[in-house]
Amino acid sequence: MRSLRDRLKSYKKDLALGDAEVKLEQMVQEAEALTDELPETAVERALPGVEQATPYGMCYYRDVRFDVLSLHGHYPLARTRHLPLSVLYGVCKIKDGPADWGKVCFFDTETTGLGSGAGNFIFLFGIGFYEDDELIVRQYFLRNYAEERAVLHALSELLQRFEVMVSFNGKGFDWKLLETRFTLARLQLAPVLHLDLLPPARRLWKKVLKNCKLITLEQEVLGFAREDDTPGKMAPELYFAYQTDGDARPLTGIFTHNVHDILTLATLSAHIGLLVEQPLQMASHPEELFGLSRWYDEWEKSDSSVACLVKVSRMEEQDYASEALWKLSLFYKRRGQYDKAVLLWHDLLDGSGMWQTAPRIELAKYYEHKARDYARALQLTNETLEVVQSRRAALRSVRLDHELHELSYRRQRLLKKCGGGVARGELGL
């Protein structure tokens, strides 16, 4: 009896001789009928799925379905669909897009390497999307390299249903590699709005967590712990082994890993959205509030921006409280509200570290250029010079030298405005 591979090749040749749709259906029926002939090690037995016929031959995918009431960490999967998409557009710096979650997919890949060149293949494509009361994760698997064109064609057809793609570092890796594979296959990849959650995650948690890897975020932020999951770094080795021995059973953990990534993209979207919508209730760390304040400032939502900083300024952690007061002072300065800014700079004068110099410099500028109180400006400049000279004596650095030069120049200018003069040697230059 001819092998499955031989029969599929025969059908592919016959496509040009008869009705294509009928031939494609025959290919699917033949493949499904022969599944029972396959050994336990075959992917069709280890990871049951669906044979899909394309103009470029057969390809293989499986669907993993989750009820939207299922929990992934702290959140039910349904929570994401309650989030206005405009929130994600805002944090991802996208001006506008569709409001319907039915037009959105979550995208993640598993690859044979970390580069984006021609030698790096995507062997597992994960696409998550909402359909009725389910979140479906569809996984296209490259059983062999010869199937790539068929897989890419099937993937392209699926992606045409969506206008928005959510990923994690997708702009820097997954999408670039996908474009490379489509180009090499001489196929067209339709453009989509791309929402990469890595930049907003870094804004919120870069200084809070040990890193901003997806698995770290789901553990520390979403409260999800993976089980039966193979780390992504092992994926290339296991896939190469599969290509050698045909045993797909060790790949089950990679498929599970890909599913977890997709689910985390959905609930991470929900969590970021809740932080934006309810910052004072949801944010638990000062750095989260700092990040949210910056977004609100960029979106010209001044009241929300100030509210986040005020909350941090009232926290017990003195370093964060001082930083919040400083950010508030600069917020008011940018808006010309010097009465509020000056009060905050005075509140910061008794601090240590940068607070010994930064508020004094701002006050000196204010008293020189706004209040025209040159004597007060000179006093503050002298105080700052003393601090910086002490630091430079202990630590030589280009930054301190530059700061000292700027302060000395300001002091010389203020002395002249006060009616006095100064010799160059008195400036410490």
Task: Specify the 3-state DSSP secondary structure of 215.
Answer: helix
Q: Which residues contact 23 (CB under 8 A, 6 or more apart)?
A: 11, 14, 15
Nearest to 243, CA basis, from 115, 148, 125: 148
| pLDDT (0 to 100) of residue 77 | 98
Q: In terms of pLDDT, which residue wins out, 249 or 392?
A: 249
> For residue 119, which amino acid is it?
G
Q: What is the pLDDT of residue 34?
A: 55
- Note the pLDDT tens digit of each residue in 335-359: 999 999 999 999 999 877 788 899 9
391 confidence band (pLDDT: 50, 70, 90): confident
Q: What pTM value is reported for the model? A: 0.85
With b for 16 or more beta-carbon neighbours within 10 A and e for fewer, the 390-409 pattern comes to ebbeeeeeeebeebbeebbe
- pLDDT tens digit sequence for 75-112: 999 999 999 999 999 999 999 999 999 999 999 999 99
User: What's the pLDDT tens digit per position in 151-188?
Assistant: 999 999 999 999 999 999 989 899 999 999 999 999 99
The residue-averaged pLDDT of 220-239 equals 93
The ranges assigned to domains in the chain are 1-37, 42-277, 283-427
Specify the CATH architecture of the domain 283-427: Alpha Horseshoe (1.25)
Superfamily grouping for domain 42-277: Ribonuclease H-like superfamily/Ribonuclease H (3.30.420.10)
Q: Is the Cα torsion angle 41, 46, 50, 52 positive or negative in sign?
A: negative
